[in-house]
Amino acid sequence: MAQPHGPAPQLTAMVVLEYIHAPILAFCFMTSLVLAVCTLQKEIALPLQRRRIAKVLVLTLLAGYCAEILYYFSRSISEKAFEAPHHVTFHCLGSILVWIPLSASIVNSKPLRWKPYFATFVLQSIFETTICILAGLALPAEDVYRSVPLSLSSIRAFASLGLLINGFFILISRKTEKCTDEEGQSLLGNNTNSSTAQPDTPGYGSTESSASSTTIAEERDRNQEVKDQQAKRLEEEGGWWGYLKGFAVFLPYLWPKDDWRIMACLFIRLLELVSTRFLNLLAPRQLGIITDKLATQTDVMPWGDIALWGFYHWFNSYSGFRWLDSYASVYIQRSAFRRITMLAYDHLMNLSMDFHSGKDSGEVLKAVEQASSLNSLVELVLFEIGPVIIDIFVAIWYVTHLFDGYMAFIILFMSLIYVWVGISATTWAQDKRRAYVANQRTQNTTVNETVHNWTTTAYFNNVAYEVDRYGTNISTTITSYFTYYFRSMLGHVFQSALTNVGFIICCTFAVSQIIYEGKSVGSLVAFIMFWTTIISPLYLVSYSFKHVSSTLIDAERLLQLLNTKPTVVDCEGAQDLIVKSGVVEIKDVNFHYDPRKQIIHNASLTAAGGQTIAFVGETGGGKSTMLKLLFRFYDVTGGSISIDGQDLRSVTLSSLRNALGVVPQDSTLFNQSIRQNVRYARLDATDAEIEDACRAAAIHDDIVGFPDGYSSKIGERGVKISGGQLQRLAIARVLLKNPKIVLLDEATSAIDSGIEAQIQQAFKKLSKGRTTFVIAHRLSTIVDADQIVVIDKGIIIERGNHSDLLEHGGKYAELWAKQTAGHLSQPDSKTASTANSDGQGELLIDLTPPDDDDDDDDEAKAGSK
C-alpha cells in the first residue's frame, strides 16, 4: 500500500487530529461526567433495543482500533523495513485506552448518566469521520479501495455515526422501559422488599448466625439511613458543590487562621508536596547521569554528581525534610481532632432531653469518635489524590522523554488494568468485610453483656454456656476474617503479578531501545529507579474511591449531629434567674411529647415560697413530666411556669439548673470514688462539707464502714452498693448542692423504714425556707406536705393537705385506703393459727411482700442489676 501523500496542510491536519483525538475524547468524557455528578443528573435505564444497538456499535468501534493495531504489528513482523507511523499507532492505542472503560460501562447494562456518553459520541463521530476523509484524500486513487486502515477507519466512522444517532434517540426518549427489560430482571424474580424475603435468614435455634445476620442488617440499615440523608441533602443543596460547601463550616476548626503553629505546619506540608514532585524525578535522573558517565570508562570520579544524588535522597528521606513534614502532618491531625471532637462533644452535651431520650447511643458515639474523618477527607484530597494525579502525568511525560511514547502506552494500559483489578477486588470483598466487622461486633457485644451481667449468669449456672457461646463467636469471626482476607489478598496477588509483568515488559522495551535506538544505559537505570514512583499512585487510585466514600459517610454522620439543634435553648436576651422567696406558679400548662397524645392538660398550681408540694397518682399520670417541665428538660407547649414571677423560658438554663436540686427516681453514679461522686454536686466543696452532707443523708456510717471509706469505688452505675445506699448518696449530693428549690422523684423508694425517719428529718432541714416538690407513691412519706396534688391522666383532679383530702373522700382517700388496709389487716407474725368453722386449726402463711425493703434485699437487687 502506498504511503499517504497530498498537500502538506492536509497531512498535517490529519496527523494533529490523530494525536489529539484520544486525549480530547477522554477529557471531554471525564469533564462532562464530573459535571453530571455535581449537578445530580439522573441516571436512566437504556431501552432494551437501544442498549443492544449501543453494545454492538461500541464493541465494533473497539474491535476496529484493535484490528488496525494488529494489522500494523503483523506488517512490522513480516516486512523488516516497515515501521508504522507514530501518529496512527498513537491514535489507535489512545482510542483503545479510552473506549475500553466506556465500552465496559455500557455493556454492563446499568442505568447511566447518558449526557456524558452522548457528548463523547458527538466528538468521536466528528473526529473519526474527519480523519477518515483526510486519510482517503491523502491516498493515491488506486490504493483507496485496497487500504486496510482506510477500510477500518470507514467502519469506525459509520459505527461512530450510528452511536451518535442511537444516543440521540436514547437522550430524547422519555421511556426507560425498566419494568419490561428482561435483561435487568433478577433470575429469582423481582424482590422489591429485601427485608421481607431473605432465603438465608436463619430460623429458631440458629442464635449465633441470627445474631450475626441481625448485626449485618443493622449496620446496613444505619449506613443506608446516612446515605439516604446524604442524598436528600445533595438534592436540597443542588449538587455536590453545594453539598461539599456544607463541610466548609469545619475549616476554621481544621485550619484556624489565628493559630500560627497550624499555619506554619501547613506551609511545611505544601513545601514538602512541591519538593517531592521534583525530587521524584531528580533523584533517578541524577543516578542515570552518573551511570552514563561511568559507562564512558572515564577515570574521573564524578564527585559532584554523586554528592547531588546523595543530597536528593537525603532531603526526601525521614532523616532529611520528610520527618519535619511528618511531624507537621501529625500536629495538624491531632489539633484538628481535638477541636472537632470537642465541638461535637460540646454540641452533644448541650442538646435537649428529647434528643437524648430517643438517640441511638452507638451511632452518636460513632459520630463523635469519627470526628477525625473530616481531617482525613481534606488530607486525602489535598495531600494524596491531588499529588497522585500530578505524579501520573509527570510519569507519562518522563518515560516518553527517556525512551518513546510506546513506553507510556505500556504503563497506561497496565495502570488501567491495575486500577480495574483494585476496584473490582475491593467491591468483591466489601460484603465479606461487612460480615467480618459485624461478627467482630457481635463478639465484643457478647463479652460486654456477659461481664456486665455476670450475676445473672451465675444465678442460672450458665458460665459454661456463655464460654461456649463466646468461643463460637470467636470461631465465626476468624472464619469470616479469612474469607474477607482471601478475597482481598487475591486482588493484591493479581495486582502484584500485573506490576511484575508490566515491569518486565517495560525493561525489555527499554533494552531494545538501548540496542536499536541508541538510548543510554543511564536512561534504563533512571527508569528502574523511577518505577516505584509510577506504581505508588496506582495503589492509592485503585483503593481511594472506597476510602473517600466511607470518609464522606463518617463526616456526614458528624455533620448531621451538629445540624441537630436543641429544642430548649436560651432565648435572646435571657437573664439569670434570681430566686428570692421561691414562689413557683404553674399556669394553664399543657404539654405533649407527641402531638398525637396530650400528657398534661391545663394544669395550674401555685407553690408559695418554702412550701412542700407533693404529686401523687397512678403510674403514667404525668407526675415525673411535671418535674421535667420545672427543670426545663422540655418547654411547655401551652401556658407558662414561673419562679418568683420570672418565666422559665426568659431565664438562662444555667442559672435555672443551678437553682434547682434533683433526686431522680433512678439515681446513677459514676464509676469513681464516693467522695468524687458526692463532690460532683458542687465541685469546690471541701471534704468536711461532703461528710456533713453524707451525715445528713444517713449514709456516713455506712461509708466509714467500707474498707476504703470515702475512697471506695462504687462500680459502674453504683452496682457495688445497695439500692438504699445508692439513693442516699444521691440525696447527699443534693444536700451538698444546697439549692433554692428541691425536686424529689421517689427519693425514698429504696429506703427502709428505719432509715426513712432519718431521711425525713434531713428533708425537713433541707426544705426549711425552700420550695420542695415531691413525687411519692408511698403516701406515708408526704403526709406533712403543705399541698398534695393528685394527678390522673395529666389532669389535676384534687389538691389540699392530707387531712382535707381524706375528708373529701376522693382519689387520694382511695389510694390511702389501699396502702394502709394491708398493714391494718395483717397479723403481727408471718404465720398464724386460726380456727375454721369446724374448729380445726388452719396455718396461714403471709406471702405478701413487706411494703418496705431492707438493705439485704437492696444489696441483692443491686447485685442482680
Sequential DSSP letters for 661-706 = EEE-SS----SSBHHHHHHTTSTT--HHHHHHHHHHTT-HHHHHTS
Beta carbons of 202 and 210 less than 8 angstroms apart: yes
Give the SS3 label for residue 440: helix
Range with the poorest average pLDDT among 13-27, 357-371, 557-571, 585-599: 357-371
Q: Rounded CA gap, 459 and 832, in Å?
A: 33
Q: Rounded CA gap, 543 and 531, in Å?
A: 19
Contacts of 638 (CB under 8 A, 6+ apart): 588, 589, 590, 591
Beta carbons of 674 and 608 less than 8 angstroms apart: no
Check whether residue 56 and residue 173 sit in a common domain: yes
Percentage with pLDDT > 90 across the chain: 14
Check whether residue 800 and residue 666 sit in a common domain: yes
Tens digits of per-residue pLDDT, 501-556?
989 999 998 998 888 888 889 889 999 988 888 888 887 777 766 667 667 766 77
Residue 513 belongs to some domain of the structure: no
Tens digits of per-residue pLDDT, 426-460?
778 878 887 888 888 788 888 888 887 787 888 78
Domain residue limits at 72:
8-179
Evaluate the CA torsion angle 414, 418, 421, 423 in order and state its sign. Answer: negative
Tens digits of per-residue pLDDT, 809-860?
888 898 888 877 655 444 443 333 333 333 333 333 333 333 444 444 443 3
Tens digits of per-residue pLDDT, 689-711?
999 888 888 888 888 988 888 88
pLDDT at 39 over 80: no
Tens digits of per-residue pLDDT, 581-639?
889 999 999 998 888 888 899 999 999 888 889 999 887 788 888 888 998 889 899 99
pLDDT at residue 431 in the model: 80
Cell numbers 452505675 correspond to what residue?
Answer: 717
Check whether residue 638 and residue 741 sit in a common domain: yes
Backbone φ and ψ of 580, nearest 5°? -110, -75
Average pLDDT for residues 256-282, to the nearest whole number? 87
Mean pLDDT, the chain, whole residue set: 79
Residue 90 belongs to some domain of the structure: yes
Percentage with pLDDT > 70 across the chain: 78
Quote the DSSP letter at residue 360.
-
Kindly report the CATH number assigned to the domain that includes residue 291: 1.20.1560.10
pLDDT at residue 57 in the model: 93
Question: Among 369, 390, 411, which residue terminates a domain?
Answer: 390
Residue 152 belongs to some domain of the structure: yes
Check whether residue 127 and residue 58 sit in a common domain: yes
Q: Rounded CA gap, 660 and 742, in Å?
A: 6
Check whether residue 103 and residue 12 sit in a common domain: yes
Q: Rounded CA gap, 470 and 442, in Å?
A: 9
Confidence of residue 122 (pLDDT cuts 50, 70, 90): very high
Residue 521 belongs to some domain of the structure: no
Residue 328 belongs to some domain of the structure: yes
User: Higher confidence at residue 411 or residue 863?
Assistant: 411
Residue 503 belongs to some domain of the structure: no
Evaluate the CA torsion angle 185, 190, 193, 197 in order and state its sign. Answer: negative
Average pLDDT for residues 55-63, to the nearest whole number? 92
Average pLDDT for residues 746-773, to the nearest whole number? 70
Backbone φ and ψ of 316, nearest 5°? -95, 15
Q: Rounded CA gap, 151 and 163, in Å?
A: 18
Check whether residue 243 and residue 148 sit in a common domain: no
Average pLDDT for residues 481-494, to the nearest whole number? 88
Of 398-412, 561-575, 717-731, which one has max mean pLDDT? 398-412
Q: List, in sequence order, every residue forming a beta bridge with 188; answer none if it has no partner.
A: none
Tens digits of per-residue pLDDT, 541-555?
777 666 676 677 667
Residues, the chain: 865
pLDDT at residue 728 in the model: 82
Residue 75 belongs to some domain of the structure: yes
Question: Among 822, 843, 859, which residue terminates a domain?
Answer: 822
Q: Rounded CA gap, 199 and 539, in Å?
A: 37
Average pLDDT for residues 730-752, to the nearest whole number? 79
Check whether residue 663 and residue 731 sit in a common domain: yes
Q: Rounded CA gap, 862 and 865, in Å?
A: 5
- Which contiguous run of DSSP H or E holds residue 850? none
Check whether residue 600 and residue 660 sit in a common domain: yes
Beta carbons of 722 and 855 less than 8 angstroms apart: yes
pLDDT at residue 225 in the model: 63
Kindly report the CATH number assigned to the domain that includes residue 682: 3.40.50.300
Question: Among 337, 361, 390, which residue terminates a domain?
Answer: 390
Tens digits of per-residue pLDDT, 128-179?
999 998 888 877 766 656 678 889 999 999 999 999 999 888 888 754 444 3
pLDDT at residue 160 in the model: 93
Joined together, the cell numbers standing for residue 504 give 518486565
Give the chain's domain count: 3
Check whether residue 234 and residue 175 sit in a common domain: no
Q: How far is CA 805 from CA 257, 754, 797, in A?
A: 68, 27, 11
Tens digits of per-residue pLDDT, 229-266?
666 666 666 666 666 666 777 777 777 888 888 889 88
Q: How far is CA 697 from the centre of its chain?
A: 45
Cell numbers 486482588 correspond to what residue?
Answer: 491
Check whether residue 87 and residue 166 sit in a common domain: yes
Indicate the Cα dihedral angle 569, 574, 576, 578, nearest 10°.
-110
Joined together, the cell numbers standing for residue 151 give 477500510
Check whether residue 137 and residue 35 sit in a common domain: yes
Residue 446 belongs to some domain of the structure: no
pLDDT at residue 163 in the model: 92
Joined together, the cell numbers standing for residue 453 give 451481667
Check whether residue 145 and residue 251 sit in a common domain: no
Q: List, in sequence order, every residue forming a beta bridge with 480; answer none if it has no partner.
A: none
